[in-house]
Chains A and B, each alone.
Chain A
Amino acid sequence: MSASLLFFIFSALVVLLLLLWASRPSKHRFTPGLDVFEALSQSRHSSRMSHILQALRPADTEFLRQTGQAALMQTVRRQRKRIALNYLDQLQEEFETLLEISRVLALMSPEAVGVEEMERWKLSLVFAANCAFLRWKLRLGLQPFSGFTLLSDMATNIARQLEAATTRIAETAVRGSEPSATGHENIGGL
């Protein structure tokens, strides 16, 4: 079988398969009225990370084991696993909200920057893969608790970085929404 035969057949089949997948009606709809400011000012789950992690320290369960309360320790661990999974869901939700905001921004912009959009697309792929992997690990119970200790120490630092980034977004957005000489319409209806 020649290379050209393989190339053309493979490419045509890929085109057909992708067409089948991409032309399905999407569950998610375009949100023309999405208020960028409101979406940005929503509470951020990631900022509560340190509190959640504090409650997930393995020392707590070790203490229960030492006092001979193994059954209680199992119950606590199950609850912690549920909390961790819930936290992961919320983190993913926050990520999705940010992506949604960035999509609306790209639609509002007179010229979307390819590099920025590509970077965002790559980040979303990496995040989705990591999220799925971590969720799988937690569900299978592969040492989900010990890892939270180190993370707890890092959480404060990351939360601070996130807060700084968010503040800068809000400041930039507010500055951009102030009436300007260019006569552009304001975003978010402000």
Chain B
Amino acid sequence: MVEPLQLRNLAWALTTTVECVLFVQLARRKFLDKYPWFSLYVVSTIVQSAVIATAYRVFDTPNMVVWKIAWGSQLIVAFLRFQALVELTRKILGRYPGIWALAWRLFCTVGILVMANGLLFSKGDWYWIFHNVERGLELSIGAIIVTLFLFARYYRLPILRLHSALMVGLCLYSAFFVLNYTLLEKHIQELVNFWGFLDVLTYLATLLIWLNAVTRYEESAAHAPPPAIPKELYGKLSSELNLRLYHLNQQLNQLLRSEDQHR
């Protein structure tokens, strides 16, 4: 029977290979300069794998130094991951200044609220604060991406298939990371190898989504953004439109109320 540790190492080697292929594809399709933060994030994951593998080789048994190297590199990867998210969000919404101005505030609020909620459960315990920061960050990334999709859907904004696939990949990994972590948190020490295997497996699925997107989809030009109008005009028209919508709503309400009165 294959040991969980061996399985994890196998999956680890596989993900690193896929990461390298993804990077090559990014370079081949000339996406490196168009998506610098996303490319940096992919590079950082490759470097992280190499650094941790070396640390495990140098120090035969896992100790504090290995732990610090692992978590230190994870901080850098998480930061670059967040930057990749910002980059993609800006690519999708940046062409619409009005929407972008509203959206980034909304995303920040959603992100901070989710993160703060996660930290509330730490009860001042540093061990849990540390773990919940990572879990909260991943949950925030997932929540922001979902909000972005809902936002784009409401305003009928076109999202390129490439961007959509990259975002879906990021969100899936974040959500499954939180699920794996939470379901196994009580047994994280005993099941560390199994947890690591599940994590790598989820990440591998994400990498395959990205690889498929980078290989298949073009960064084709979307619709030209609509012409701009002065802010004051938007304000006036917007208020009047709301008033008219309100009146239409009133019509329906009165229709409902009048029925009840006559019953």
Partner-B contacts on A (CB < 8 A): 2-5, 7-9, 11-13, 15-16, 18-19, 22-23, 26, 28-32, 36, 46, 49, 91, 94-95, 98-99, 101-114, 116-117, 119-121, 123-124, 126-127, 130-131, 133-134, 137, 142-144, 146-151, 154-155, 158, 161-162, 165-166, 168-169, 172-173, 175-176, 180, 182, 184-187
Asked if B226 is at the interface (CB within 8 A of a chain A CB), the reply is yes
Distance of A187 Cα from B178 Cα, bound (Å): 46
Q: How many A-B residue pairs have CB under 8 A?
A: 264
Residues of chain A within 8 A (CB-CB) of B215 are: none
Residues of chain A within 8 A (CB-CB) of B223 are: 30, 32
> Which single residue of chain A is at the shortest CB-CB distance from B233?
A176
Asked if B59 is at the interface (CB within 8 A of a chain A CB), the reply is no
Residues of chain A within 8 A (CB-CB) of B260 are: 147
Are B102 and A112 in contact (CB-based, < 8 A)? yes
A109 partner, pick from B117, B158, B231, B253, beta carbons under 8 A = B231
B259 partner, pick from A4, A137, A172, A175, beta carbons under 8 A = A137
Stretch at the interface among B21-29, B64-72, B92-100: B92-100
14 contacts between A and B (CB under 8 A): A19-B149, A22-B149, A23-B149, A23-B167, A23-B168, A98-B248, A106-B155, A107-B225, A120-B242, A147-B262, A158-B247, A172-B233, A176-B232, A180-B230
Asked if B126 is at the interface (CB within 8 A of a chain A CB), the reply is no
Distance of A5 Cα from B182 Cα, bound (Å): 6
B98 partner, pick from A29, A91, A107, A151, beta carbons under 8 A = A107
With A9-B182, A158-B251 given, is the CB distance from A130 to B256 under 8 Å?
yes
Task: State the majority secondary structure of interface residues on B.
Answer: helix
Distance of A123 Cα from B232 Cα, bound (Å): 22
State the Cβ distance, A8 to closest chain B Cβ, in Å.
4
Are B243 and A109 in contact (CB-based, < 8 A)? no
A184 partner, pick from B97, B98, B229, B255, beta carbons under 8 A = B229
Residues of B203-234 contacting chain A, CB below 8 A: 223-234
B143 partner, pick from A15, A94, A150, beta carbons under 8 A = A15
Q: Number of B interface residues, CB 8 Å?
A: 81
Are A26 and B98 in contact (CB-based, < 8 A)? no
Are B240 and A105 in contact (CB-based, < 8 A)? no
Residues of chain B within 8 A (CB-CB) of A106 are: 98-99, 102, 155, 234, 238
State the Cβ distance, A80 to closest chain B Cβ, in Å.
14
With A111-B101, A180-B230 given, is the CB distance from A98 to B241 under 8 Å?
yes
Are B229 and A15 in contact (CB-based, < 8 A)? no
> Which single residue of chain A is at the shortest CB-CB distance from B155?
A103
Distance of A47 Cα from B37 Cα, bound (Å): 54
Are B121 and A26 in contact (CB-based, < 8 A)? no
State the Cβ distance, A40 to closest chain B Cβ, in Å.
9
